[in-house]
Amino acid sequence: MNDSVPFNLVQYIEKYNEIWSLSGNILISQGGTVLFKKSFGKANFENNVDNTLKTKFYIGSISKQFAAALTLILYEEGKISLCESVRKYMPLLPRSYQTINIHHLLTHSSGIPDYYECVIDFEKYHDKIPYTNDEFLELYKNKPLDFEVGNNWKYSNSGWHLLGMILEKITDQPFEECMHNRIFDPLEMTDTGYDIYRSIIPFKANGYVVEGDILKCAPFYDMGKLSCSGGIYSTTADLLKWDNALYEERLLSKSSLQLMFRKYLDKYGYGWFIDTRNNKTRFFHSGRVEGYRSRIIRYPETKHSIIYLSNIDAEIDWLQDIESILFGGDYRLPYKPQKVQVDEKTLYELLGEYKSMSGKLERTFTFSKENDRYYFKWNSNPKFEVYPISNHCFRPVNWIDMTHEFRREGSDIWLYEYKKNS
C-alpha cells in the first residue's frame, strides 16, 4: 500500500465532512487491518447525541447477503435445494410460481414483482403495518410475474421476503433467531440483529430525511416484514467481522462462496453485485431504509473493504473517490461546484412536468422556475431549490451532495427514468 494512502484518506474524508456534514460511521480496512475509522454527525439531532463507533444503523438491503449465507449453510447441510421449486416448500403458492426455484429468488430472476412497485399505496400505508409474514405475502403473491422465470433480471424485495418464509419453514425457527444461532453468534456480532416491532435497541441511531431544504425525522416504517430483504441493524465493527469471516471461510465452504460471488444475470450473485473497478474484481451492495443509507465494498484480490453506515437518507457516491485513493486512481478533493448561467433556450426545454417510465407509472417529477430560482419536486414531496452547474446539470442548494443530470434521447428529455411530458 502506498504510504500516502492513510493521509489521503483522512484529508479527503475530513474535507468532505467540512463541506457536506456527514452523519454516520465509516471503516476502511485491508486484510482485517483497519486503515481508517471514524464517526460523524449525530445519532439523535433532537437531543444532540453524537454518533460513536458503537452506534447501530439499519443496513437495508445489505441484509440480503446474510440471508444468502444462511441459505448456503442449509444447502451444504442438504436441507434445501437451490434448484427445486419454491412450491416444494410452500405448496399453496400460486401455480405461476411452479418454475421458480431458490436460485431465482437469490438472483432477482424470479419475475416476482417488487412490493414497492406492485402494491398500491405501499409506502403511504402498508409499510407502516406490522403484518405477519402470511399477511404480507398476500399483498403480492397473486400479482402477475414481471417476466418469464429465469429469463430476465429485476430487483425484487418480494422474492427475498418469500425466501425468508421458506427458510423459517425449513429450520422451524423464526428467521431472526436462526440468523443469530447460525451467523451472528458464531461470529460474535453482538451489535447486530433484527428490529422486532416496538423493540428498544440501545445505541441505535435515529433516521433522518431531507424534505425540501429541511432535515426531518424519517417516517415510521415497520421493520419486521423486511427481515430477509432488509431488516438488519449493525455497526461498522460487526460488519468487519462479517467481512473477515468471508475471507477466512469460517461460515461457508469455498464452493459455496464461489456460488455466492459468481456473476449471474445483470452482474448479480447471491446478495452481492459483482463488477470490475480499478482493474480489480469488486463485490458490493448498498442499502436504503427511510432515514438510512449504507454500503459495503470488497476487493477480494487485495482484501480492501469499505463500510459506510449513515442515518441520513442521502446519496453516498463519494465513496468512489475513496476507492480511487486506495488504488492510486484519479480523484480530486471535495468541493462545492459553482453556479453557472444557463442558456435560456436549453432551460425552457428542460422546465416542465415529467412522468416515470418504469415501476410505478404514477410517479412524477416537476422542474420549475420561480423568481429566478429553480426547483425540483418529486411526486407529492415538498419542492426544493437547485442551482445549475452546467446547461444540463443541477445540484441542491442545501448540503446534499448530488448532481442531477438531464439527458436527451432523440426528441425526448429525461431525468433518470422520468420522461418529460409532450
pLDDT at 2 > cutoff 90: no
Instruction: Identify which of 115, 356, 331, 72 has the alpha carbon closest to the alpha carbon of residue 230.
Output: 115
* 193 close to 63: Cβ distance less than 8 angstroms: no
Count of C-beta atoms within a 10 Å radius of residue 70: 23
CA–CA distances in Å: residue 25 to residues 37, 223, 266: 7, 21, 30
Ramachandran assignment for 106, one of left (phi > 0), alpha (psi -120 to 50 degrees), beta (any other): alpha
Region 346-370: mean pLDDT is 90
Q: Give the mean model confidence (pLDDT) for residues 212-241.
A: 91
Closest CA to 204 of 400, 402, 83, 24: 24
Backbone angles phi, psi at 15, to 5 degrees: -65, -40
Q: Which domains does the chain have, with CATH numbers?
A: 6-326 (3.40.710.10), 344-420 (2.40.128)
Q: Which of 62-71, 394-403, 409-418 has the lowest mean pLDDT?
A: 394-403
Query: Which residues, in sequence order, are bridge partners of residue 210?
Result: 215
Could you read off the pLDDT of 37-86 as tens digits, one per residue?
999 999 999 999 999 999 999 999 999 999 999 999 999 999 999 999 99
Other CB atoms within 10 Å distance of the CB of residue 151? 9
- pTM of this prediction? 0.94
The per-residue pLDDT for range 85-126, each reduced to its tens digit, is 999 999 999 999 999 999 999 999 999 999 988 988 887 888
Q: Average pLDDT, stretch 202-212?
A: 93
Gyration radius of the chain's alpha carbons: 22
* Structure confidence by residue, pLDDT tens digits, 247-261: 999 999 999 999 999
